[in-house]
Amino acid sequence: MLKKCFDYIFSFIGIIIISPLILIISIIIKADSPGAVFFRQIRVGKNNHDFKLMKFRTMKTDSDKSGLLTVGGRDPRITASGYYLRKYKLDELPQLINILKGDMSFVGPRPEVRKYVDLYNEKQKKILNVLPGITDVASIKYRNENDLLENAKDPEEFYINMIMPDKINMNLDYLSQRSFLKDINVILNTIRTILK
């Protein structure tokens, strides 16, 4: 209950406080490349239900049709402004709306696309018992995931067989000992990581 109240109150306050920033980023995105300001993608949330995750658009329109993984910080599909939005995690800000709607939480396993969730075994599916989050313990460890994928011989195979299982195991550990204080710690560690 405390976590739910925290999510609702701080997502609402956050949207109000950063509204000028949202306007500025929206103008930059529109000036940088043709297309929508926001990118909506179907992700898998709590209880294995699909929802539309919101982000600022950081790639050229329809880039997801050529692959779901972003490979390298300078993936040619990423726009000039998108590079910096991704680097400083500003592209994630619209997910405050997802939190306000009840689709997400501040802290929880990052939501995957259906393609990868369909590969989960029964044990791994336990991470779908909670709301997905804007950040989690795995996001901090794999903050340079794009660079790891860039250096892999087969990025998708490397993601499916190496990165994804490790992320899931970290989140299963998180679920076994989660608490409101641990969530606050994850948020603070995420901020520290971004500022570095």
- The confidence band for 49, taking pLDDT boundaries of 50, 70 and 90, is very high
Q: Provide the terminal-to-terminal Cα distance of the chain, rounded to the nearest Å.
A: 33
| Residue 43 bridge partners (DSSP) | 51
Q: What is the DSSP letter of 93?
A: T
Task: Name the residue with tokens 């997910």.
Answer: 95
Please check the confidence at residue 140 and state whether its pLDDT lies above 70.
yes
Q: Are 163 and 148 in contact (CB under 8 A)?
A: yes
What global pTM score does this model have?
Answer: 0.88
Average pLDDT of the residues in 70-95: 85
- All structural domains of the chain with their residue ranges: 2-195
DSSP classification of residue 157: H
* pLDDT tens column, 154-195: 989 999 999 999 999 999 999 999 999 999 999 999 999 888
Interatomic CA distance for residues 42 and 23, integer angstroms: 24
Q: Could you tell me if 55 and 85 are in contact, meaning their C-beta atoms sit under 8 angstroms apart?
A: no
Q: What is the Cα–Cα distance from 122 to 110, expressed in whole angstroms?
A: 18
